[in-house]
Structure 1
Amino acid sequence: MDIDPTVYKTLLESTKAIPWKIDWKTLKFAYIGPQIEQLLGWSPESWVSAQDWAERMHPEDRDETFNYCVSQSQAGVDHEADYRALTKDGGYVWIRDVVHVVRKDGEVEALVGFMFDISERKKTEEELITLQKELEELSFKDGLTGIANRRLFDSIIDIEWTNARRNQQPLSVVMLDIDYFKQYNDHYGHLKGDDTLKQVAQTLAAAATRARDFVGRYGGEEFILVLPETNEASALKLAERCRTMVSQLQIPHAGSPQQPILTCSLGVATTVPAPDADIAAFIDSVDKLLYQAKQNGRDRVESAPRSPAAPTPPGPRTR
């Protein structure tokens, strides 16, 4: 049974999808559904040629979308394209164009397709992407202090170690531990202790100012700095700055048997990694230097320029 073409037209124009047809030889619209005016504000009569379609596209999307659609059409390949279409009042709506290439005697005769409003879908996708980025950031951020956590340190040190070995550049690492922090918590309480950890974290972040300098919480009251392309003299200078800045916070520490204010101890080491060098051994050498700073009186910096630290003495390690 034959169906009146007007029935097809009615069916097409009653859907939210916007049908259209372009004559390939002239690149002019043979038809576009009246729904286009409700969606974008432009009347069907204003869609004369493919040039109108291109001009009513976001400038950032125009060249890539236009070139892609033309190349696919020339090849006779059906395709889809997502882009932002300009509304008559100056806004933009996300569109998905689904294009079918009509061929006759092996030659492209026309393009027919449907435009779909995918704004809500795009909004949802963008919200999911934003949420995913936030979750990724949270997974690499220390929940208490807001600076990087141990997980991010593990990733960063691998990258910087590889770069230093490849380029034969010095890499320095500083480990810092707050002196007598258990006694601080015992005296002032854990809430005050948490506030102090935040202050120290912010202070260290302010001390390391270069873009690639890394500051993270290593665990408990221990922090770590990764300093790419930094020689031993510069690393030692920065470590001393960190020690001084923490002391200058003048945070009272009545529980300290040494000083009435909060202080810290630091270990610093620098290396130009050899091809067979072990990154874990290097980090361990920095940790041993921090231990030496504790053993040698605290509130001090111990360093070993490009050389391993002495073996750790037997017995418990008191922070």
Structure 2
Amino acid sequence: MDQRSLILSLAIGSFVFAGLLYIFQRNKPREQRIPFWITAKCLQGVGSLCLYFMTPAPPEFPIVAAPLLLTGCAYESWALFAICGHPVSRRTHLWTAAIILVLTLAAAGLGQPWRMAMLPALHAIFYALPAWALLANQKRELSLRVVLGGCFVLLAAVFTAQSALALCGLAPVPSLDAVIPAAVYVMLLVSGFSLLLLAQQKSDEALERARRSLREQDAQYRFIVDNALEGIVALDRDGRVTFLNRRMAEMVGYRVEEVLGKPYLDFLAEDQFADATAKQAERTQGLDGVYERCLLRKDGGRKWVQVSARAVLDAAGHYAGAFSVIIDIDARKRTETALTASNKRLAEQSLLDGLTGIANRRRFDEALAREYRRHARGGASLSLVLIDIDHFKAFNDRYGHLHGDACLRQVAGVLRQNVTRAGDLVARYGGEEFACILAETDAPSAAAMAERLRQAVAALDIPHEASPTACRVTISCGAATVRCLPGGSPLELLARADEQLYRAKAAGRDQAAAESCAN
């Protein structure tokens, strides 16, 4: 094969090599691609074509082909550096190309020996650099890097010899000119395919490192998730559990494998189903939410949690499931329940008389105003009975305050036993006075209730020797009835009942006086 054919073969080989590199790298991630390698082979191919078209009478100094070939060699050197784990910056690539162009232009003005020595010397440098990168810190056993490094060492040696002969004035040497292209051709074939294998090996190593890193990260994330203080659960589009951490399994009292694949609703109390279904519908619409939920444990117990749920969408934007972070709020919920019950008891106690256990004056005032407004909406009749224990001070003086308190409790008890309708109310009005609110009650019924209460207290037969009215405890009652109207006031009813109580006392006590009136 003549020199011209070898040069053409080098050009074709460079372009084929560039094509193989493109196929090799096109489906790889950007970080796994070797930078400027394809560009290097294309520059070498174009430079070889320039030489081919200049033969059989090439110029002493190929001013066009030289920068292309040298830049291609330089870029290939930097590609080898990247494969060996020593990437070169883009700025270095640009500066290298600029320096090569300046040196080749400057060499055109030098003497013939210097011109003929400069090109092979530069080639030798750019073949020696990747040889150093490949062979540095290598063990003695034979490896792909050692073979490839040896190829570049031989190439550098051939071009160094040619440069030295040119400087000594011994060039051109016909035999050397014939050997160099052939040696370069063979060496480039060997080194080219070795380079591809090395690149594949490096790519596989990089891929394995990436996979190992992903496995380590996955293990780390799983450790974090499994040891999180909050429960974590993932559901598919049908509401079945696809993932949960150990904390979530502890909350419901199951093992992780017992929960996987089961519907989320299986772990909720029955009274939570309706709201859980509504929340699931919100997730399918891509809406997130934070809410409280009562879980049903394996042992039948209940646990309150706070759920922070987020919808999971697929690449097309369709609902694919849900991801939730679960916080145990059971202790807080129990505290809130106890606090609510305590507040309710305090509220009730604030409206009850501490001695008798019936409504106190505060509750009576609120109930009377409320009932009057309610009755005024329909113009209904509302009745009130005021009650006073006759000669109660004399009872205390004769029997003592302990017996006086017992007497008040007995009277309150019998009043409560006789006033039993849902809308009615018995209250301690003050001291030995009581009041009964009778909802939707007309005057005759109110008068009958007053008399009934008087007789019920008399039937207690509580001794009262200090009473000038009777030898037992008696009461006086005043009943009044009004037709409630919008804009009216319950004070009128209170005043009327008080007047009737005064009449009963004036009539000798142990009486029930009643009068019907309207606002």
TM over 0.5: yes
Q: Spell out, residue by residue over 1:14-66, the C-alpha distance to the aligned partner (whole angstroms, 9 max, x if none).
A: 12311122233x544331112333332322223344x6211221111111122
State the distance in 2 between where 1:74 and 1:224 align: 59
Q: Does 1:44 align with 2:256?
A: yes
Assess, with a 3 A threshold, how the Cα gap between structure 1 residues 108 and 52 changes in structure 2: closer, same or farther. closer
Retained in 2: the 8 A contact 1:176–1:223?
yes
Structure 2 unmatched ranges of 5 or more? 1-212
- Per the alignment, in what secondary structure is the counterpart of residue 88 of structure 1? coil
- Per the alignment, in what secondary structure is the counterpart of residue 259 of structure 1? coil
- Per the alignment, in what secondary structure is the counterpart of residue 281 of structure 1? helix
State the distance in 1 between where 2:481 and 2:410 align: 27
Retained in 1: the 8 A contact 2:478–2:504?
yes
Matches within 5 A, 1:22-101: 22-24=235-237, 27-49=239-261, 52-68=263-279, 70-101=280-311
Tell me by how many angstroms 1:82 deviates.
Answer: 1.8
Q: Does 1:169 align with 2:380?
A: yes
- Per the alignment, in what secondary structure is the counterpart of residue 252 of structure 1? coil
State the distance in 1 between where 2:386 and 2:324 align: 63
State the distance in 2 between where 1:278 and 1:170 align: 13
Q: Does 1:269 align with 2:457?
A: no
Retained in 2: the 8 A contact 1:36–1:43?
no
The higher radius of gyration belongs to 2
Tell me by how many angstroms 1:105 deviates.
Answer: 5.5
State the distance in 1 between where 2:487 and 2:240 align: 67
Assess, with a 3 A threshold, how the Cα gap between structure 1 residues 224 and 133 changes in structure 2: closer, same or farther. same
- Per the alignment, in what secondary structure is the counterpart of residue 134 of structure 1? helix
- Per the alignment, in what secondary structure is the counterpart of residue 4 of structure 1? helix
Amino acid at match of 2:506: Q
Find the counterpart in structure 2 of residue 315 from structure 1. none
State the distance in 2 between where 1:67 and 1:39 align: 23
Q: Does 1:182 align with 2:393?
A: yes
Amino acid at match of 2:391: Y
State the distance in 2 between where 1:296 and 1:264 align: 12
Tell me by how many angstroms 1:98 deviates.
Answer: 1.4
384, 403, 414: which one aligns with 1:192: 403
Find the counterpart in structure 1 of residue 136 from structure 2. none
Q: Report the identity percentage.
A: 33
From the two aligned structures, give the one with the greater strand fraction: 1
State the distance in 1 between where 2:451 and 2:459 align: 12
TM-score, normalised via structure 2 length: 0.56
State the distance in 1 between where 2:249 and 2:316 align: 35
Q: Does 1:6 align with 2:219?
A: yes
> Which deviates the most, 148-157 or 39-48?
39-48
Retained in 2: the 8 A contact 1:65–1:81?
no
Q: Spell out, residue by residue over 1:163-197, the C-alpha distance to the aligned partner (whole angstroms, 9 max, x if none).
A: 22222221110000000111111111111111110
Tell me by how many angstroms 1:301 deviates.
Answer: 0.9
- Per the alignment, in what secondary structure is the counterpart of residue 263 of structure 2? helix
TM-score, normalised via structure 1 length: 0.89
Tell me by how many angstroms 1:277 deviates.
Answer: 3.0
Retained in 1: the 8 A contact 2:483–2:518?
no
Q: Spell out, residue by residue over 1:129-172, the C-alpha distance to the aligned partner (whole angstroms, 9 max, x if none).
A: 10011011001101110000111111111121122222222111
State the distance in 2 between where 1:110 and 1:21 align: 7
State the distance in 1 between where 2:228 and 2:487 align: 67
Retained in 1: the 8 A contact 2:373–2:486?
no
Assess, with a 3 A threshold, how the Cα gap between structure 1 residues 274 and 106 changes in structure 2: closer, same or farther. same
Matches within 5 A, 1:1-319: 4-24=217-237, 27-49=239-261, 52-68=263-279, 70-103=280-313, 104=315, 106-306=317-517
Tell me by how many angstroms 1:228 deviates.
Answer: 0.8
Structure 1 unmatched ranges of 5 or more? 309-319
- Per the alignment, in what secondary structure is the counterpart of residue 254 of structure 1? coil
Tell me by how many angstroms 1:267 deviates.
Answer: 0.3
- Per the alignment, in what secondary structure is the counterpart of residue 39 of structure 1? helix
Tell me by how many angstroms 1:276 deviates.
Answer: 4.2
- Per the alignment, in what secondary structure is the counterpart of residue 377 of structure 2? helix
Assess, with a 3 A threshold, how the Cα gap between structure 1 residues 93 and 278 changes in structure 2: closer, same or farther. closer
Assess, with a 3 A threshold, how the Cα gap between structure 1 residues 170 and 28 changes in structure 2: closer, same or farther. closer
State the distance in 2 between where 1:307 and 1:133 align: 38
State the distance in 1 between where 2:407 and 2:395 align: 10
Q: Spell out, residue by residue over 1:92-115, the C-alpha distance to the aligned partner (whole angstroms, 9 max, x if none).
A: 222222112334554444422222
State the distance in 2 between where 1:292 and 1:245 align: 20
Amino acid at match of 1:252: P
Retained in 2: the 8 A contact 1:99–1:113?
yes
> Which deviates the most, 99-108 or 39-48?
99-108
Find the counterpart in structure 2 of residue 312 from structure 1. none
> Which deviates the most, 107-116 or 136-145?
107-116
Retained in 1: the 8 A contact 2:386–2:433?
yes
